[in-house]
Amino acid sequence: MRLTGKKVLSFVHDEFEDLELWYPIHRLREEGAIVHLAGEDANVKYIGKYGVPATSDYAFSDVSANDYDALLVPGGWAPDKIRRFEEVLEFVQQMDEQKKPIGQICHAGWVLISAKILSGRNVTSTPGIKDDMENAGAIWHDEAVVVDGHLVSSRRPPDLPDYMREFIRVLEDKK
């Protein structure tokens, strides 16, 4: 259990991509990490694009970057909702400033764009938001996973094994 004692936060909102939320959570828990979900409100059941539910442990306003070792942002349509909360953007900025691992997949790049942390960073995402990523100053690559320091990005569900292998490695290496 390589991640025993590590705490990871994942954002959640309606229409998250089911696999992009649950696959990473299960992989991290298999490695011993504690994973919490934060949504617009605490104790709310959010429904994924394909009907899989996820209940938030906390509200966005109740979490602090100082309490977590890493952050995951799932894709789907949820990122377009998640990025509208100032406390989310501040959390992402603080995680970035503290160089804590940030994982983003598919449309999750929208949250990092709104947090304004992508300028000059190497990333990937779903090709559907490539222009958004580049317009935010990112250097976009069409690869299964791209690691740029503490930032780990991936394209879509078929890339999840590569994404989580690298995210776990980056989190494990973070002292």
| Residues 6 or more apart in contact with residue 63 via CB below 8 angstroms | 9, 36, 38, 91
| Backbone dihedral angles phi then psi of residue 165, each to the nearest 5 degrees | -60, -45
Residue 36 annotated in active site:
no
Pairing verdict, β 102-105 and 151-154: parallel
20/1 Cα distance (integer angstroms): 22
Name the residue among 133, 134, 85, 68 with its Cα closest to residue 107: 133
Adjacent-strand bridge partners of 58 = 38
Residues in contact with 77: Cβ distance below 8 Å, sequence separation at least 6, in sequence order: 14, 15, 16, 49, 107
Query: Which residue of the set 13, 26, 107, 141 is catalytic?
Result: 107
Q: Which residues are catalytic?
A: 107
